[in-house]
Amino acid sequence: MSPTYIIYNEYKIVESKIEKFLHMDLYKITSEKDLEEIKFLDLFEENSVSCIEWPEQMGENYLKKLKEKTNVVSVNFEYVDQETREIKY
């Protein structure tokens, strides 16, 4: 994994019950070791919302662990054509 590639960005939210928003891009994750290095599961705290791109990169084991730790809602954007996307959840 490139040392300059950013796996996640954290944004603080003020004056809200939600304290932070995490945007994660797991595209370059190749193993559970990559997730362990960034303490992936520890990033999910109360009063936070996360968006994970390429969640399939975490593998079934980590997805199961994530579902045990927090609520998970999957939202998928599918290409219908050049100008249209379908959102499924």
Sign of CA dihedral 4, 22, 60, 65: positive
Domain coordinates in residue numbering, the chain = 8-88
Report in angstroms the alpha-carbon separations of 59 from 11, 16, 38, 45.
25, 32, 16, 21
What is this structure's pTM? Answer: 0.81
pLDDT computed for residue 67 by the predictor = 94
Could you give the CA distance from residue 42 to residue 76 in angstroms, rounded to a whole number?
Answer: 24
Question: Per-residue pLDDT for the chain (89 aa), expressed as one digit of tens each?
Answer: 555 578 999 999 999 999 999 999 999 999 999 999 999 999 999 999 999 999 999 999 999 999 999 999 999 999 999 999 999 98
**Greatest pairwise CA separation for the chain in angstroms:** 39
